[in-house]
Amino acid sequence: MNEDIMEIITRREEQIMLAIGTLQENAYLVAIRKHLSRVMRKDWSIGAIHIPLRRLERAGFIEARFGEATSVRGGRRKKIYKLTNQGIEALKENKRVTDILWADFS
């Protein structure tokens, strides 16, 4: 990996990206919010997720596509997010750095 082009992701962005990776085909805004709220035992606002999602998409770490319209959503389609290869590499780099910092801390 070329460290010159590796953009740093924030802890919140990392958590959102990990949720996307976990949820796979169900990684849409409301599902991401519910997943993170459950795991972290803290209610996440839609804005706390939506704003980082836009940044992550602009940075090329995630991509989005629209799913099928459903009657449950009043005919609206879900925007489903997916990690890109660049996003997966950014997560791996974050983990590598975090592991080193924790090892040095111990």
pTM of the model: 0.86
pLDDT value for 39? 96
pLDDT beyond 90 at 76: no
pLDDT value for 4? 47
CATH number at residue 31: 1.10.10.10
Asked if residue 3 belongs to a domain, the reply is no
Neighbours of 22 (CB within 10 A): 13
Q: 64: which strand partners?
A: 81
Asked if residue 5 belongs to a domain, the reply is no
Domain count, the chain: 1
What's the distance, CA 8 to chain centroid? 14
Question: 86 is in which domain, residue-wise?
Answer: 11-105
Asked if residue 56 belongs to a domain, the reply is yes
Asked if residue 2 belongs to a domain, the reply is no
Asked if residue 101 belongs to a domain, the reply is yes
Asked if residue 80 belongs to a domain, the reply is yes
- pLDDT (tens digit, 9 = 90+) per residue, 13-69? 999 999 999 999 999 999 999 999 999 999 999 999 999 999 999 999 999 999 877
CA atoms within 13 A on the CB side of 106: 6
Kindly calculate the radius of gyration of the chain based on its CA atoms and give it in whole angstroms: 15
CB 46 within 8 A of CB 32: no
